[in-house]
Structure 1
């Protein structure tokens, strides 16, 4: 199969590397002037992996889409709308698109499949690919499990069949709303975990896992999904990789934020997602104290020490209310 990856950051480049390893013909696209694309073109590698000589690199979006059967999108979630507007100018109708990113559009509160559908229509085959896994582990051949979901069961099953391997076992998702929300929200919980590490409260990560998954399940239910999905691979199943791993970008962001050691260009998806989910919690009247607290700390409205103490040490109520 011909597989193209739109996005040449860490995860996008890995997905190109992975697709090549399981036998597909791969093209990786990046925008003209992209430092990541330039590095790959000059060296065939980044800090994590080497690309085979058969993997094509390009900044020609029209040709990339035209010559593809499956198109993986792996970019910052807040840039998806603009990319879809560019894709709309190409021959995209008979392709299968796979969104391999996690987030909610801040300006609208829309899930990423909703953003895609709004611009490119309801007839295009579309799936999401979410769940736990780090490039640093996969390139060492350490396996993991992830989930594919779609609004079309045949598309879900086709993508699972096309991309499953001994390295990544793909499960069939049956709750697109829940899988998208859960995957996006876990990045915010990851930031909270990093804040706990920074203030010396790492022992509270168990409570964070339990309470975080519970509040996310309430939002999923309110938005029409199945609340049990929060306890699957998209969310709770991704906690080890997000709340504990040294490789977790969101956990590291939360820790560095509290320590005051963030670089100017260092950003994590959970920052924008926190803002978007606070809006959704207001719209759907769902209580989400952890995510709201993280957003308040990031906005400078609360100190992390006060937020974390109030969240876990002073609340007296029934566990499952």
Structure 2
């Protein structure tokens, strides 16, 4: 099978390398991208070396024409711009897989909604999310992830053709819950890093429990299945985000509390803006998200904000 991967960050590059073992794969990077220029020049990045059979391409038209299955792995807030460029070409009948997590800040829309608004052509569309870091996969450590789509046949097709012993794919059947859960997981990851930075790491167990409950309420209000919050897209991804040294979101939260610079992408810093707005729109109390937002954007101090991470009216644990 032929595959095109759009995006040469650590995850996109890994997926291109990994799938090129059994498939004909092309990796696209934006013209002028320093990361892509380095890949072209050195055929490696900080995590892995590119196999000789992996093709590199900077022309979007050529990348889209190469394969019927297109994986997109870029920053969530850049998706609309890329989708607008994709819409200029005839991509009818192709299958697009969004291997990314986030909610568009300006609109509060899920990524599949953003893509469909811009690419108004009959295509297959799915998300591929869940736990796993490039560093672990590159070392041969397996994990489980979930694929979801509004079209079950698209989900089935992707799982059938891209499932492997290293990355075991499960079939999601709740696109709203899968997308919201995956995006929100990064915000809980930032909160975990904040606890680490403040010396409150023992509270991360409570954060896991209350965080999943908080996002379950939002998923339900948005029309999804609240149980998705306890699946691979959200709770199942906590270990890889709340505890891992590889997690950009956790490291960002820790660096923020310590006043240290952090120059890597942390999707949760944008996603929390969208979640706070969604909480207001759907009238769902999101105390953890509001706390993270307050510290990042309202200059609330750690001493003031962190104790309020779990503050709620005294009630039963699973009351709404």
Q: TM-score, normalised by structure 1?
A: 0.97
Alignment of 1:175-194 (within 5 A): 175-194=174-193
| Alpha carbons of structure 1 residues 300 and 266: separation in structure 2 relative to 1, 3 Å | farther
Alignment-derived partner of residue 160 in structure 1: 159
Verify: 1:170 aligned to 2:161, yes or no: no
Alignment-derived partner of residue 105 in structure 1: 104
Decide whether the 8 Å contact of 1:62 with 1:91 is kept in 2. no
Secondary structure (helix, strand or coil) at the match of 1:312 reads coil
Alignment-derived partner of residue 117 in structure 2: 118
Decide whether the 8 Å contact of 1:178 with 1:225 is kept in 2. yes
Alignment of 1:223-242 (within 5 A): 223-242=222-241
Alignment-derived partner of residue 5 in structure 1: 5
Structure 2, unaligned runs of 5 or more: none
Deviates more, 1:174-183 or 1:85-94: 85-94
Paired residues, number? 319
Secondary structure (helix, strand or coil) at the match of 2:291 reads helix
Query: Shift in Å at residue 313 of structure 1?
Result: 7.0
Query: Shift in Å at residue 130 of structure 1?
Result: 0.3
Alignment-derived partner of residue 31 in structure 2: 32
Alignment of 1:302-317 (within 5 A): 302-312=300-310, 316-317=314-315
Decide whether the 8 Å contact of 1:5 with 1:74 is kept in 2. yes
Alignment-derived partner of residue 209 in structure 2: 210
Query: Shift in Å at residue 315 of structure 1?
Result: 6.1
Alignment-derived partner of residue 59 in structure 2: 60
1:30-58 alpha-carbon deviations (Å, 9 max, x no partner) = 11111111111111111111111111111
Alignment-derived partner of residue 318 in structure 2: 320
1:287-310 alpha-carbon deviations (Å, 9 max, x no partner) = 000011101100133112321112
Decide whether the 8 Å contact of 1:131 with 1:183 is kept in 2. yes
Alignment of 1:59-78 (within 5 A): 59-78=58-77
| Alpha carbons of structure 1 residues 73 and 314: separation in structure 2 relative to 1, 3 Å | closer
Secondary structure (helix, strand or coil) at the match of 1:156 reads helix
Decide whether the 8 Å contact of 1:5 with 1:16 is kept in 2. yes
In structure 2, how many angstroms separate the alpha carbons of the residues matched to 1:317 and 1:207?
16
Alignment-derived partner of residue 270 in structure 1: 268
Decide whether the 8 Å contact of 2:72 with 2:97 is kept in 1. yes
Alignment-derived partner of residue 128 in structure 1: 127
In structure 2, how many angstroms separate the alpha carbons of the residues matched to 1:122 and 1:240?
38
Match among 278, 281, 284 for residue 279 of structure 2: 281
In structure 2, how many angstroms separate the alpha carbons of the residues matched to 1:296 and 1:306?
10
Decide whether the 8 Å contact of 2:287 with 2:311 is kept in 1. no
Verify: 1:51 aligned to 2:44, yes or no: no
Decide whether the 8 Å contact of 2:92 with 2:121 is kept in 1. no
